[in-house]
Chain A
Amino acid sequence: MTPVFAEVNVEAVVIFGLVVAITLGITYWASKRVRSATDFWAAGRGISGPQNGFAIAGDYMSAASFLGIAGLIFLYGFDGFLYSVGFLVAFLTVLFLLAERMRNAGKFTIADVLSFRLRERPARVAAATGTLAVAAFYLIAQMVGAGALIQALVGIDYNLAILLTGLFMLTYVVFGGMIATTWVQIIKAVMLMAGAIGLSILVMNRVGWNPVELFNRAEEQAGGGSFSLAPGALYTNPIDTVSLGLALVLGTAGLPHILMRFFTVPTAKAARSSVLWAVVLIGAFYIMTTALGFGARAFLGEGGVEAAGAGANLAAPNLAQFLGGGAGSFGGDALLAIIAAIAFATILAVVAGLVISASGAVAHDLWSNVVRKGKDSEHEEVLVARIAAVAIGLIAIAIAVGGGKDLNVSFMVGLAFAVAASANFPALVLALGWQRFNTVGAVTGVLVGTFSSIFLVLISPKVWPGPDSEGGLFSFYDLANPGIISIPLGFIACWAGTMLSKERGNERSFHELYVRSETGLGAEVAPAASPVPAQEGTRIPTSA
């Protein structure tokens, strides 16, 4: 049996320890502030716009987008970059269609918005299904990625790495709720930006601050590999690429852990300004990722491909080591350790966000409003939320450990975005904007969106790689990304379910939801601003 701590990177462990100590300190501080359900899920609605912008960036940019995209650019050049453009453009969908309206109309979860005007229990069950499907796929992908990455970077065993990640994730969420989660995400975003800026400076310094020189050096180092400054190196089926693009651009607006962040700010104005902060950070980060991917290609060359490991996830860490003076040098090891710690913080921030959003679906939607029909106390709701978080975390740990490193991470992430875009997004947009929309439509849409995405991914070439490893086993269907089919299906199902059902009477509550979501009239305000529920003689709460 190989020792668990074979070739442990000591510097990395020390910096890990520092990150853990700081975040646990924050969790302790936050734990004393979590009293109500609003504190637990929405950080007491006391997060400012800029803070929320950093937290969104921290919630959104996973290790996949940090190390994965740098690696893809290192391997494939232009096509690797294609991914990051979609991740960024997606925030315009969030800003224009959902950010403020979610803040104005909802409380803690996506289901709050749907159940506002639809029959509460079926609407909540449907929305919770969509939320849990997205959170589960995304969470498992993150955990598996975390295990593999930490093992490669730090040298601790895959299973132990997952256990540690899961343990810290649960500590933040269970004790510190959204307050701790938010600050973990903010710290992570700051670390990630600092790391990317630092490495980019080192890269640009080596090419005389001339981006064109970087392009040239990278192209010279293509070395007959897959790297190309032109498209076509990674994505060979254009329809598949468009399908992926659609899922990214619409799916982000259906990610429960991202939408949940808009409930943590006091006003709709803060919600929209947080999106501006987020896109500035995320956009700048992806541009720097390009510099890192190209830098890795220019300095590590085709010879660095093998050392970069599966999916070239280690291209950025290896680049950091090279820039610091190479393996064995103090600077090289220190930079590698810093990047490893940033990757670790990155994973923790994302999984914590996912777990808290899933706990909202279980405790707030399913338990409190469906099982207990809203008759439970707030104390009970928060208790159930904590239990749910632990259960969800344990299940994710078990699947990640049981499924092992061989679980296909990119397939799970693709699935999460496809479900978000095909199930959650259509239901939300139609609930806010289509007067005729009803419960049957929402339930049909969410179910069709969720299950068509899962079905299409299950028959895709990723799962059935076919004998020639080119197309899939099912020759009539060769898309890796189901979005181009499942997103229209989700919308059509919402429409068909609505039209085919006799259910009427949602129009009336539509007026209220419509006015609330557009103006913020009657929206949930920060408790600090109104310690008691609105009573006669008080002003109408408004977040405008």
Chain B
Amino acid sequence: MSVPAGGQLRIDWEAVERAPEFQELVKRRKRFVVPATIFFLVWYLGFIVLAGYAPGFMGESIYQGFTVGYLIALTQFVMVWWLAAWYIRKSDREFDPLRAAAAAQAQRDVDQQRADHASRFQTGEEGAR
């Protein structure tokens, strides 16, 4: 059982892809995801590299046994929670409306197809993709 291709509806995927809403969605999502991914990878791998190559610095006590290493480790936890929450907030407020707009565009397109078919009174080719 392969993945059904959008039911029997013919969605013109390339048209949706060209639509300004979709382009805007991808652009905005990338503008968040790419820098955020680079940031967390650098911050995390930097932490690991420091632990590996600068154990002295990481072991320095900031306050009675609480070390630099633990402080940076704690920032990793805060980073994960903060970035995850930020992404979800942005998705709800910014990306989802664009997704809905792109979907609406595709729906209008399909309705148009259906109207065309109905007016031509011909449905034989409907299932073909």
- Which residues of A come within 8 Å of B, CB atoms? 37, 78-79, 81-82, 85-86, 88-89, 91-93, 95-97, 100, 106-107, 112, 115-116, 120, 211-212, 215-216, 218-219, 228-232, 235, 237-239, 241-242, 245-246, 249, 269, 272-273, 275-276, 279-280, 283, 286-287, 368-369, 374, 376, 378, 381, 511-512, 514-516, 518-522, 524, 533-542, 544
What are some 21 contacts across the A-B interface (CB < 8 A)?
A: A78-B67, A81-B70, A85-B44, A85-B76, A92-B37, A229-B65, A230-B59, A231-B58, A238-B53, A269-B92, A272-B87, A272-B88, A272-B91, A279-B84, A374-B1, A511-B14, A512-B5, A519-B22, A520-B103, A521-B106, A540-B103
Q: Are B77 and A287 in contact (CB under 8 A)?
A: yes
**Would B1 and A37 count as touching, CB distance under 8 A?**
yes
Q: Is the CB of B81 within 8 A of A283?
A: yes
Q: Is the CB of B2 within 8 A of A374?
A: yes
8 A-B pairs besides A96-B33, A107-B3, A540-B11 with CB distance below 8 A are A91-B80, A97-B37, A212-B66, A269-B92, A279-B84, A515-B16, A515-B17, A536-B114
- Are A238 and B49 in contact (CB-based, < 8 A)? yes
- A-facing residues in B58-101 (Cβ within 8 Å): 58-59, 61, 63-67, 69-70, 73, 76-77, 79-81, 83-85, 87-88, 91-92, 96, 99-100
B contacts, CB < 8 Å to A: 1-9, 11, 13-14, 16-17, 22, 25-26, 29, 33, 36-37, 40-41, 44-45, 47-49, 51-53, 55-56, 58-59, 61, 63-67, 69-70, 73, 76-77, 79-81, 83-85, 87-88, 91-92, 96, 99-100, 102-103, 106-107, 110, 114, 126
A540 / chain B contacts, CB cutoff of 8 Å: 6-7, 9, 11, 103, 106-107, 110
Cα–Cα distance between A97 and B61 once the two chains are bound (Å): 37
User: B65, A541: Cβ atoms under 8 Å?
Assistant: no
Tell which of A107, A120, A230 touches B58, judged by Cβ atoms closer than 8 Å.
A230
- Establish whether residues A519 and B16, one from each chain, have CB atoms under 8 Å apart when the complex forms: yes
> A520 touches which one: B47, B99, B114 (CB < 8 A)?
B99
Chain B hits for A230, CB < 8 A:
55-56, 58-59, 67, 69
The answer on a CB contact under 8 Å between A522 and B2 is no
Known contacts A231-B58, A544-B96, A95 near B6 by CB under 8 Å: no
Q: Are A515 and B22 in contact (CB under 8 A)?
A: yes
Q: Is the CB of B59 within 8 A of A78?
A: yes
Residues of A within 8 A of B37 (CB): 92-93, 96-97
| List of A residues within 8 angstroms of B14 by Cβ | 511
For the complex formed, measure the closest distance between the CB of A539 and the CB atoms of chain B, giving whole angstroms.
7
In the complex, which of the residues B58, B85, B87 contacts A96, with contact meaning CB atoms closer than 8 Å? Answer: B87
| B26 touches which of A276, A518, A520 (Cβ 8 Å) | A518
B53 shortest CB reach to chain A, Å: 5
Closest-by-CB residue of A relative to B48 is: A245
A462 CB to nearest B CB, Å: 19
User: CA of A538 to CA of B99 in the docked complex: distance in angstroms?
Assistant: 19
Shortest Cβ distance from residue B60 to the other chain A in the assembled complex, whole angstroms: 8
Q: Are A215 and B64 in contact (CB under 8 A)?
A: yes
B107 to chain A, nearest CB (A): 6
Q: Is the CB of B102 within 8 A of A534?
A: no
Chain B residues with CB under 8 Å of A283's CB are 77, 80-81
In the bound complex, what is the Cα–Cα distance between A96 and B4 (angstroms)?
A: 26
5 tightest A-B CB contacts, nearest first: A230-B59, A534-B7, A238-B52, A522-B6, A215-B65
Query: Which chain B residues border A79 with CB–CB below 8 Å?
Result: 51
Q: How far is the CA of A295 from the CA of B87 in the complex (A)?
A: 35
In the complex, the answer to whether B5 meets A522 with C-beta atoms within 8 Å is yes
Assess the B83–A92 pair: CB atoms within 8 A.
yes
- Known interface pairs A245-B45, A245-B48. Does A368 touch B1 (Cβ–Cβ under 8 Å)? yes
Take A85-B44, A518-B29 as given contacts and tell me if A544 and B100 are in contact as well, using a CB distance cutoff of 8 Å: yes
